[in-house]
Amino acid sequence: MTRSESSSIDIEHLREKLLPTSNPSSLPTSCIYRVDKRIRKLNEDAYTPDTISIGPYHRDVDKKNLQMQDMEDVKRRYVKALLDRTSETPSLESYVKALKELEADPKTDPRKCYSEPIINNLNNKEVNFLEIMLLDGLFIIELFRKHSHVVKLKEDDNDPIFKSNLRRTRIVRDLVLLENQIPMSVLEKLFELSKCPNSDRFSLIELALIFFENLIPDGLNKYDKITNNTHKHLLDLLSCTLDGAPTEQESRTEEIKALESLPCATELRRSGINFKASRNYNLFDIRFSKGEFEIPTLCVDDYTVSFFRNLIAYEPQSIGGRHRITSYALLMDHLIDTASDVALLLRRGIIKNHLGDNEKVSFLFNTLYREISSGDKFCYGTLCVNVNKYHNNHYHKWGANFKRNYCSSPWKIISLLAGVILLFLTFCGTLFTALPFFGVKEFI
C-alpha cells in the first residue's frame, strides 16, 4: 500500500464502525449453532436431518431428497388444518403480524438466535425467513397436538406421519438436532395465538415432553423438579429436563486423574463394587457409597447416539455452560470398555439395550464424546476418587475374591461348610491323638 492509498482511508467512517450500534447486553445471545466441523466430521449423519428441515440452516439441503421435499407439503397441510380449525380465532395475518413484532424488537428478533447470518441465505422470492418461522412453528404445534390427541385423528384421515411409525420416529430424531431448531419464543407466540380454551388442556412444554416421551421417559415428572422454566428451543428444553439438578463442581487435577485411572465396570465388580439401578428421575444423579454404585437407567436405541451427540455439541455453547451430559458421557465411556461391561450393566438394570447387540452399545459410549472436552467442569471427580480408593483397597479385593470363589452358588457354600467341618473334625482328632503323647491323661 502506498502512502497516498493509506491517506485515503476515511478515519471518521472507520471510527463509526468501531462504535457499538446498541447496548450489547440488551441483545439476545445466539442459541442455535452450527456444529463444530471437528465434531461433525466424526459422524455427519448424527447432526443432519434426513426427513424434515426445521429453521433456515438446512433449507438448501440436497434437492434429490424427495422425503424432505414431501415433508414441506405435509407442513403446509398441517398449517392449513390448524388455520381451518381455528378460523374463529387469529387469522393468518394475525400470526404474521405477531412474528413481525418479534422481529422488530432487538431483544426478541428470531434472527439473532442463530449463530450465523441468515438474511443473505434466504434473500430470494421463494423462501422468506418469517415464512419459515410461521410454517415450521405452526407445523410443530399441530404435530404436538395430534400426538397428544388434543386434535383428534379421523379414521379416514390419511395422515402421512401418524400412519407410519418409522416416519414419526425419524421426525422425532430430526426435531432434536442442534442445527434444526427454531426459537422457543416463536413457538410460544404462535402457540398462545392458536390456543383454544375448550380443547387445549396442555401447555406447550407439556405437549413437547409428551411428544419426546421415548427420548426422555417420564419427562413431565423430571421437569417438575426444574425451577428455571426459560428455554431457548426444544433441544434446550430436553437438555434442562434431563439435567434436573444443574449445580456444577469444578474438578481438581487429582480428580481428573481419578477419572483417567477409573477401571471398567467388570474390573470394579471384581473388587467387590456392586452396581445398582437408581430409581432417581435425574439421569445424571450418579452416586457411590459403601461399595455400591447407583446409576439411573438409560434406554439405548437407534436414536440415542444422535440425541446425545447433539446435546453434547450444544452444552459447551449454551449459556451457563452446563457440562453434566458431557461428564456423563465421559464417565460411562470409562465404565464401558467392552460388551462384557454392557452385559453387566444390563443385568443390573442400568442399561436397557434396544439395539440388540452389546458391542454396538459399547461402541456408542466409546465414541460419543470425541473432540469434546469438559475442561475443569467434570461433575463426577469426587465420585471417581472414592471409587478408586475402594477399588484399590486390598481388603475389599480379598473379600470379593472369597465371595466369588466360595460363595457364588449354594453348592459352593455347602462345599465350603463341609470343608470347614471336616477341617474342624480333623483338628479335634489330631488333638485327642496328641494329648496322651504329652502325658495328658484326662481332658475335659
Q: pLDDT tens digits for 231-241?
A: 999 999 998 88
Residues 181 and 269 in one domain: no
Q: Is the pLDDT at 147 greater than 60, yes or no?
A: yes
Residues 49 and 99 in one domain: yes
Residues 258 and 219 in one domain: no
* Residue numbers of the domain that contains 417: 409-438
Q: How confident is the model at residue 27 (pLDDT cuts 50, 70, 90)?
A: very low
Looking at the structure of the chain, the number of domains it has is: 3
Asked whether residue 91 is domain-assigned, the answer is yes
Asked whether residue 248 is domain-assigned, the answer is no
Q: How confident is the model at residue 246 (pLDDT cuts 50, 70, 90)?
A: very low
Contact assessment for residue 40 and residue 372, using Cβ atoms and an 8 Å cutoff: no
Sheet with strand 287-289: strands edge to edge = 274-278, 292-296, 287-289
Q: pLDDT tens digits for 379-416?
A: 898 899 999 998 888 665 555 554 555 455 565 566 65
Q: pLDDT tens digits for 82-112?
A: 998 887 777 899 999 999 999 999 889 999 9
Q: pLDDT tens digits for 314-358?
A: 988 775 656 788 889 999 999 999 999 999 999 999 999 988 889
Residues 197 and 276 in one domain: no
Residues 66 and 129 in one domain: yes
What does the pLDDT read at residue 193?
Answer: 93
Asked whether residue 226 is domain-assigned, the answer is yes
More confident call, 256 vs 200: 200
Residues 283 and 238 in one domain: no
Residues pairing with 293 in the sheet: 275, 288
Contact assessment for residue 183 and residue 110, using Cβ atoms and an 8 Å cutoff: yes
What does the pLDDT read at residue 247?
Answer: 46
Asked whether residue 105 is domain-assigned, the answer is yes
Residues 279 and 200 in one domain: no
**What is the distance between the alpha carbons of residues 8 and 246, in angstroms, rounded to a whole number?**
55
Residues 66 and 193 in one domain: yes
Q: pLDDT tens digits for 180-228?
A: 999 999 999 999 999 887 778 899 999 999 999 988 888 888 887 666 6
| Alpha-carbon distances, residue 253 vs 100, 259, 306 (angstroms) | 51, 10, 31
Residue 21, Cβ density class (10 Å: 0-12 exposed, 13-18 middle, ≥19 buried): exposed
Asked whether residue 404 is domain-assigned, the answer is no
Asked whether residue 21 is domain-assigned, the answer is no
Asked whether residue 1 is domain-assigned, the answer is no
* Maximum average pLDDT range among 123-127, 361-365, 371-375: 361-365
Residues 354 and 216 in one domain: no
What does the pLDDT read at residue 10?
Answer: 75
Residues 58 and 187 in one domain: yes
**What is the distance between the alpha carbons of residues 85 and 371, in angstroms, rounded to a whole number?**
48
What does the pLDDT read at residue 384?
Answer: 93
Q: pLDDT tens digits for 127-143?
A: 689 999 999 999 999 99
Q: Is the pLDDT at 26 greater than 70, yes or no?
A: no
Asked whether residue 402 is domain-assigned, the answer is no
Q: pLDDT tens digits for 42-70?
A: 888 999 999 999 999 988 655 667 888 88
Residues 295 and 390 in one domain: yes
Residues 429 and 390 in one domain: no
